Amino acid sequence: MRPVLNTFQTFELQRDGVRVHGRIGGRGTPLLMLHGHPQTHAMWHRVAPQLAAHFTLVMVDLRGYGDSGRPPADADHHNYSKRAMAQDALAAMAHHGFGRFGVLAHDRGARVAHRLAMDHPEAVSRLLLLDIAPTLAMYAQTSDAFARAYWHWFFLIQPPPLPEALIEADPARYVRSVMGARHAGLAPFAPGALAEYERCAALPGTATGICEDYRASATIDLVHDREDIAAGRRLTQPLCVLWGEHGAVGRCFDVPALWRERALQVQGHSLPCGHYIAEEAPEALLRESLPFFLQETRS
């Protein structure tokens, strides 16, 4: 089986006792890349080689996923808040000497990127978010169609230990069931990447990490989002949002309108694919991301 991203150097660091794992490579201005659920940094394998010709890529596994640490659950879900995950990502960039950088992020990683840019505007120069609307808006505007398509949002936030036990009973089946139920099925996923997702899903503590990630999004993360709104805080960086025209996010939400409520500079549109843009439509993603991030190098 062909290795995934093995030309990029692995790295690890500790932040508050939690291991942060990732890969780095390329040349040029720094670009942080954050994956989604139930994946790892391996999801970038179809776009990373081309991006690395222009940028120094730092691809991080979120806590609870990949080969990063899996801290224990806590009562208020702080350990898996997007604020804590954003601080992991910030520490990874500082570890490599990067104080300011662009961010390309998908799904759960895009929610981390949103919080990172809100909490640390001096660090994030611009960000490109893939197939999400703001978390608070998605919960507030949940419809029957969205609940059916994103059933895992409501399954994973149920009290322990039931969701964890069901995932741990067959982690590979969980990965394949969630990913394979989307627009394109399992066809877009390279065998090496899918094997990585399955390997990491089976690591001890992954089920807890996944559930706590979603429980945090339904609790403490919403508190942080409401605080931003009450204070009138909005993203100040250039923001590009892309979503799959065959995905549930674009069908169920007015993605650009919702982001204009949360950011000052918004652009973006749908792409001819489903949820997993980087693997379903890598060429289209490169056509959008390269000029967007290269604008920073020319300014």
**What is the residue-wise DSSP string for 146-157?**
HHHHTHHHHHTT
pLDDT at residue 296 in the model:
78
The CATH number fitting domain 9-298, selected from 3.40.50.1820, 3.40.47.10, 3.30.565.10, 3.40.630.30:
3.40.50.1820
Per-residue pLDDT of the chain (299 residues; tens, 9 = 90+): 567 899 999 999 999 999 999 999 999 999 999 999 999 999 999 999 999 999 999 999 999 999 999 999 999 999 999 999 999 999 999 999 999 999 999 999 999 999 999 999 999 999 999 999 999 999 999 999 999 999 999 999 999 999 999 999 999 999 999 999 999 999 999 999 999 999 999 999 999 999 999 999 999 999 999 999 999 999 999 999 999 999 999 999 999 999 999 999 999 999 999 999 999 999 999 999 999 999 976 65
CA distance 28 to 234: 29
Domain boundaries, the chain: 9-298
pTM over 0.95? The answer is yes
**Cβ-based neighbours of 132, under 8 Å, separated by 6 or more:** 107, 110, 111, 114, 138, 241, 243, 249
CA distance 149 to 205: 26
pLDDT at residue 121 in the model:
98
The helix (run of H) or strand (run of E) holding residue 38 is none
* Contact assessment for residue 242 and residue 290, using Cβ atoms and an 8 Å cutoff: no
CA distance 266 to 70: 34
* Contact assessment for residue 214 and residue 157, using Cβ atoms and an 8 Å cutoff: yes
The helix (run of H) or strand (run of E) holding residue 244 is strand 235-244
Catalytic residue numbers read 107, 275
